[in-house]
Amino acid sequence: MRNFIAQQVIFLGITTLLFNVSCQDEKKESKQDAQTEWEEKSPKKKWDYTGVYQVTLPCVDCSGIIVKLHLNEDGSYRIVKNYNGNDDTPGEIKTETGKYQWSENDSLIILNNQKFRISDNVISWKDPEIARIKKDSSKTYSLRMISKDSIMK
């Protein structure tokens, strides 16, 4: 009887060990599949994101801030902010240029420490850092592509 119980314990131990080894292989494969899937879905590879995007932001002391964002294939960008004038003051234009970077997992574009999420012909901009904007930290602004022409003018 002891011999039978010993055989059953050994059988269960080997079965459990084999089951655990096979599950670990599946986990490794699923991690690799997830990484490949993410790379295929990353905005950097999925969409043709270069071009000119535009949004009108609210403004405390003007009728609105028209923002045009130019993204170029070479990693350069240009943001033009046109502060529409009201009756008392004429409009003011501010321009910023530089190089954009992709976040570590290629899900966001980073311009001067501000993060933008890319999707098909739209860029989402959460809480833009503009001094004259009405602050609402829960608001996300969508810049829509207005031109595929990404040459900065």
Domains of the chain, residue spans:
2-41, 48-147
pLDDT in tens, 8-45: 767 776 777 666 666 555 555 555 555 455 445 555 66
**Higher local confidence (pLDDT), 46 or 58:** 58
Q: What is 48-147's CATH topology?
A: Lipocalin (2.40.128)
Considering the entire predicted model, what is its pTM?
Answer: 0.64
pLDDT in tens, 99-125: 999 888 777 888 888 888 888 889 998
Q: What's the mean pLDDT in 148-152?
A: 62
For residue 68, the model assigns a pLDDT of: 93
Enter the tokens of residue 141.
């602004």
AA letter at 16:
T
Contacts of 134 (CB under 8 A, 6+ apart): 58, 59, 60
